[in-house]
Structure 1
Amino acid sequence: MRAVVQRVTSASVRVGGEVAGAIYPGSEPGGPDPAAGAAGASGQGLLVLLGVTHDDDEETAAKLARKVWDLRILDGEKSASDVSAPILVVSQFTLYADTRKGRRPSWSAAAPGSVSEPLVTAFAAALGKLGAKVETGVFGADMKVSLVNDGPVTLILDA
């Protein structure tokens, strides 16, 4: 399982023009315009782009969720768990692209949807069980992801 974790001041995902999931750290539900870069209590959250490979399982999802939840990348070396920062999870099979040969990526390392969809759901559920406010995209959909990257801080985690 691979996660690209970005510290954000706001993030949203749209499917078919409708908001499927959004986080506006430090704001009321519904929040302000995402481009405004919401600020407030902590003013920060996490956007997690999540890819699944063939040998991943629910244990892998739970371990990676714990790592993301406790990752100390917010201001003051705090974690999402320290400040109850919201997390937006978006599935992204392209994280397992193999571009070593030619100009057309191979997706052979990415797990098929029948394997990856339940594991993306398990990852989000594990974050929720840890206490995170979790929003998600729509698995397999053509999504438009908007974010205001803070820092910028972007990390790649492999589990």
Structure 2
Amino acid sequence: MRAVVQRVAEARVTVDGETVGSIEGPGLCVLVGATHGDTPAKAAQLARKLWTLRLFDGDGDGVERSCSDFGAPLLVISQFTLYGDARKGRRPTWNAAAPGPVAEPLVDAVVAELRALGADVATGRFGADMKVALVNDGPFTVLVEV
């Protein structure tokens, strides 16, 4: 599984003009993609990584705190295009992205595991045409793969 993680001051996702998920930061906006070999165990591993990844400032010594350290919220949004391949030509291929019936339960598993760990998690809507708005804090963006 692959995730693009952005430290945010706030983030929201809307579908057809309706806000379906939002967080007030500091927190993380996480775009999650799944590929063919991904499993529920990898989804759980990704969730644990997101919950404990040190991306927030501590007592002036740089990034030393994680969401789990102070209950920072997460906005998790499915994103099949994370497995797009644009190395050839001008049009990406999506062959590496897991199809919806495989990917949706894996993204749901990431969210469920985060919540089981104690996280406050908002989500987008799988397969919908979503509009994501955020204020990136830093900017601070990292790629996480498990």
Superposition pairs for residues 9-158 of structure 1, below 5 Å? Answer: 9-25=9-25, 44-76=26-58, 77-158=64-145
Deviation per residue, 1:1-51 (Å, 9 max, x gap): 0000000000000000000000013xxxxxxxxxxxxxxxxxx10000000
1:50 partner letter: V
Measure, in 1, the Cα distance between the counterparts of 2:6 and 2:76. 11
1:70 partner letter: T
1:71 partner letter: L
TM-score norm. by structure 2 comes to: 0.96
Residue segments in structure 2 that go unaligned for 5+ positions in a row? 59-63
1:68 partner letter: L
Greater than 4 Å deviation, 4+ residue runs: none
Secondary structure at the aligned position of 1:56 is classed as coil
Deviation per residue, 1:42-89 (Å, 9 max, x gap): xx1000000000000100000010001000011111100001000000
2:110 partner letter: F
Identity %, equivalent residues: 63
Q: Whose strand fraction is larger, Structure 1's or Structure 2's?
A: 2
